[in-house]
């Protein structure tokens, strides 16, 4: 074999060796890929599944949070004391706890109450005494309970007043500490009544046992003694043992238990 031929043979041998090495390397790479790719696919699938599950869980958690928030914001005057309903009382969103006094006029958008004449329903001073329809049953129950307790002489002396009636009363009042100007009277809501007693034990309602019974028990029927003694600076009105305001059983119980006027309950005092 000549030098050229030997050199060529060596070159060919080197080329075959390099080709073999390359083939082996390629095979190794393919083997690694063959092993790794399914694992990567499975890993990608697992990550995708975990991401989807997390997204679903987050959505469920968000829904639960929204539901909890909705439940938390449910309006409940009795929940957490008086605070939940104080905003309603001051803002007037619930007519039964609407605050009306010298500083808080009747809202302009407050519609006329659905009035009912009390004749034939409860003891009353005469025809024409009307109240908001929601008061009829509580009044009947309260005066019935009073009669059962030994005070059958209690009756409704006054109820709803129109703006014109309130204007006349204001203009002719000798003592305006006992009356509110038109637009500022609870009587215009139909939710207030003045009570009297045919048999007051020889005393005024303020000093009679029937008056004390009312002061102690009216809350059970959703009424509060609106202008109690000792609260004149808060209410702006002198003590009126006869004036009761319907606010509903829940609010009435809070006011009775904590000794609150409607101003204090509403946070306006």
Active site residue: 134, 186, 240, 263, which one? Answer: 240
pTM score above 0.75: no
In tens, the pLDDT along 168-186 reads: 888 888 887 777 887 888 9
Question: pLDDT at position 225, please?
Answer: 98
Closest C-alpha to 260, from 227, 221, 222: 227
Given CATH 3.30.70.270, say whether it is the number of domain 83-266. Answer: no
Phi, psi of 225, deg, nearest 5 = -70, 105
Question: pLDDT at position 25, please?
Answer: 54
Q: How many CA atoms lie within 13 A of 36 on its CB side?
A: 6
Question: pLDDT at position 174, please?
Answer: 82
Question: pLDDT at position 185, please?
Answer: 87
Domain boundaries in the chain? 1-74, 83-266
For tokens 């009306």, name the residue.
100
The DSSP output letter for 124 is: B
Q: Edge-to-edge strand order for the sheet containing 154-158?
A: 154-158, 192-197, 240-246, 223-227
Low-confidence residues in the chain, pLDDT < 70: 1-95, 200-203, 269
Question: pLDDT at position 111, please?
Answer: 80
In tens, the pLDDT along 50-67 reads: 444 444 444 444 444 444
Is 67 assigned a catalytic role? no
In tens, the pLDDT along 216-228 reads: 999 999 999 999 9
């Amino acid at each position: 074999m000549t030098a050229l031929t030997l050199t060529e043979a060596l070159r060919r041998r080197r080329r075959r060796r390099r080709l073999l090495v390359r083939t082996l390397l390629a095979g190794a790479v393919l083997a690694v890929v063959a092993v790794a790719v399914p694992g990567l696919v499975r890993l990608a699938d697992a990550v995708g599944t975990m991401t989807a599950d997390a997204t679903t869980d987050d959505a469920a958690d968000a829904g639960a949070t929204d539901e909890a928030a909705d439940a938390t914001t449910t309006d409940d005057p009795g929940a957490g004391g008086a605070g939940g309903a104080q905003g309603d009382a001051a803002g007037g969103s619930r007519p039964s706890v609407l605050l009306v006094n010298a500083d808080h006029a009747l809202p302009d958008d407050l519609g006329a109450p659905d009035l009912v004449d009390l004749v034939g329903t409860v003891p009353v001073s005469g025809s024409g005494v009307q109240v908001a329809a929601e008061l009829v049953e509580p009044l009947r129950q309260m005066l019935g309970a009073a009669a059962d307790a030994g005070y059958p002489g209690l009756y409704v002396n006054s109820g709803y007043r129109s703006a014109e009636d309130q204007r006349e009363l204001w203009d002719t009042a000798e003592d305006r500490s006992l009356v509110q100007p038109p637009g500022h009277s609870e009587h215009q809501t139909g939710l207030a009544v003045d009570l009297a007693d045919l048999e007051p034990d020889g005393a005024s309602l303020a000093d009679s046992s029937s008056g004390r019974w009312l002061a102690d028990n009216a809350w059970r029927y959703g009424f509060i003694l609106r202008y109690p003694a000792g609260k004149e600076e808060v209410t702006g009105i002198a003590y009126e043992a006869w004036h009761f305001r319907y606010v509903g059983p829940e609010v009435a119980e809070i006011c009775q238990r904590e000794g609150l006027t409607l101003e204090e309950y509403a946070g306006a005092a």
